[in-house]
Structure 1
Amino acid sequence: MTSTPSYTPEELFVSTAPYYAAFRPRYAPEFYTLLVDRFGLDGTQRALDLGAGPGIIALDLAPHVDEVIAVEPEKGMLEEGRHLAAEHDITNIAWREGDSTTLPAMDVGPVLLTLMGASYHWMDRERVAQDLDRIIEPGGAIVLASGGAPGDLEPAPWRQVVDDVRTRYLGPQRRAGSGTYAHPKERHQDVLARSPFSHVDTTRWDHTLTRTVDEVIGWVFSLSYSSPAQLGDQKDAFERDLRAALLAFAPADRFDEVIRTEAIIATRP
């Protein structure tokens, strides 16, 4: 049943965009409160959201700063972000096509904070930290937001159901583009400790999220390694089989999971 990839990398991420915006868990409100308190955000600062996706961070940060520059390589993600910003009447986000490799030539100007939401692992982490040293203002920081490193939390039991069905369709490895993905072995904190931003603090907040089967399926389609583009013409069959397996596991249509927001804040010593 395993399918053969027949998509471009751009199609891979574009196909996740509407699911990403609707079904990815948001970061804890306490994360933004921490940034406001620690960096004195008062609506006058500039921030960079690098690898912004559809603006999960940018949209929530925008009320606290003067401008957010949201840099994202995929046009579909940028379009989704612009749509969400307009829907919420948020006008201080500059949506720009680019990525960590094009950043040095983009002239984004000085920023107090550079935030990355579960995107740093895709980058040349040491080089990016060096590049950011040129644009982050004194007293500023690199801020990484994520759900924590793989293995930090015990996965919810229903996750195994998702993994079993996904493996039947896509194989046991997580695909990334036309290849596969493996999370870097060295933690972000250790990479940053060797960078100009070598003072590193980590803060975590946990809460329980309850999803319906429709929300679980939407979340699965938001992942690059189980996106609609990955599944191709097997998407409908995959969704049907996944729905049946999940409801057999939890007939009450209630899927609880502990969701973590991990904030890694790296500043210059």
Structure 2
Amino acid sequence: MSMFAGTARYYRLYRPGIPAEVVQLLTAEAGRLAPARRLLDLGTGTGQVPAALHEVFTEIDAVEPDTDMVAQADAALRPLLPEGLRLHHQQAEDFTPPYPGWRADLVTICRAFHWMDQPVLVNKLDTYMAPTGVVAVMSDGSLWTARSAWTDALRQLIQRFLGEQRRAGGQTYARHDQPYAEVLAESAFSHVAEHRIALKRAWTPEQVIGYLYSTSFAARSLFGEAIEEFEDEAITLLQQFAADGPLLEDVEFQVLLARRPGASPGQS
């Protein structure tokens, strides 16, 4: 069973989108490419990255292992991209080029690199990336890792229902200790530039609950028969913190842009 079983609808509705600053950064990268531009989005989820970048690429391949996520991505992306879109229901590590001579110009991995076999994946990327291709690894943490009075209280409530260790579907979460920048620096894409964008998100209690149900650590199915009790307690808790205004989350959105040595940003 997928770690995200039953989460796809909530994921599409409640996951924060790609910040405008990140869209601008990636659009600028695409502007340096040849007219035929190919985007490969690995771990696409419900297709947020392709949806944000669809106007600047002529071909988009989106890869996602969860069946329901693929269906949600198709519903979101097909109206935007009636042509030039291919959805692949598979693990990122198993992706192969869709036709001979295909090369990816930009590979994006957003909020998904921690689920992947990173050394295997970056080695495979080297076999089908364009010579001046760019790998963009993006992350911004989660409400589990956020640190504020209301997120700490919420995390403690989840732990009371599901246990102290962070869940990952039916398993516990296995943390990757090596920084992403180091993983990339040890690969063929060793020229790594880091961008950090500070954001402040505002949540309502209802949005927070929807977000939790989109995650592998607090999906509805994990609570079993206790789901109504959890939701009632969570809403009460969040409403107390939101009595004087929205629930605020300080976010740092990290973008790592990795290239092969010698493939400078100005090349096309």
The answer to whether TM tops 0.5 is: yes
8 Å Cα contact 1:148/1:262 also seen in 2:
no
Q: CA deviation at 1:105?
A: 7.6
Deviations 1:121-175 (A, max 9, x none): 1111111111000111011111111105999x96232101211110111011111
For the pair 1:268 / 2:260, whether they are aligned, the reply is: yes
Q: 2:230 aligns with which of 226, 238, 248?
A: 238
Aligned to 1:99: 91
2:76 corresponds to 1:84 = yes
TM-score between both structures, scaled by the size of structure 1: 0.88
CA contact (8 A) 1:45 1:65 kept: yes
Distance 2:59 2:98 in 1: 16
Q: What is the CA-CA distance between 1:75 and the residue it aligns to?
A: 0.8
Aligned to 2:131, the other structure's residue is in SS state strand
Matched residue type, 1:202: E
CA 1:195–1:104 in 2, change beyond 3 Å: closer, same or farther?
same
1:112 aligns to 2:92 (yes or no): no
Q: Name which of structure 1's ranges 88-97 and 186-195 shifts more when overlaid on structure 2.
A: 88-97
| Runs (5+) with no aligned partner, structure 1 | 1-8
Tell me, yes or no, if the aligned pair for 1:36 and 1:42 is still in contact at 8 Å: no
Letter in 1 for 2:126: D
Q: 1:248-269 deviations in whole A, cap 9, x for unaligned?
A: 2332452011223211011000
From 138, 145, 154, give the equivalent of 2:138.
145
Coordinate RMSD, CA, aligned: 2.3
How many residues are matched? 258
Per the normalisation by structure 2, the TM-score is 0.88
Q: Secondary structure at the match of 1:262?
A: strand
Look up the SS of the partner of 1:226 in the other structure: coil
> 1:219 aligns to what?
211
Correspondent of 1:135 among 103, 109, 128: 128
Which residue identity does 1:120 align to in structure 2?
Answer: F
Q: Retained in 2: the 8 A contact 1:213–1:253?
A: no
Task: Name the stretch that deviates more: 95-104 or 50-59.
Answer: 95-104
Distance in 2 (CA, whole Å) between partners of 1:89 and 1:102 is 26
2:22 corresponds to which residue? 31
Distance 2:199 2:34 in 1: 28
Identity of aligned residues (%): 29
The structural deviation recorded for 1:234 is 2.0
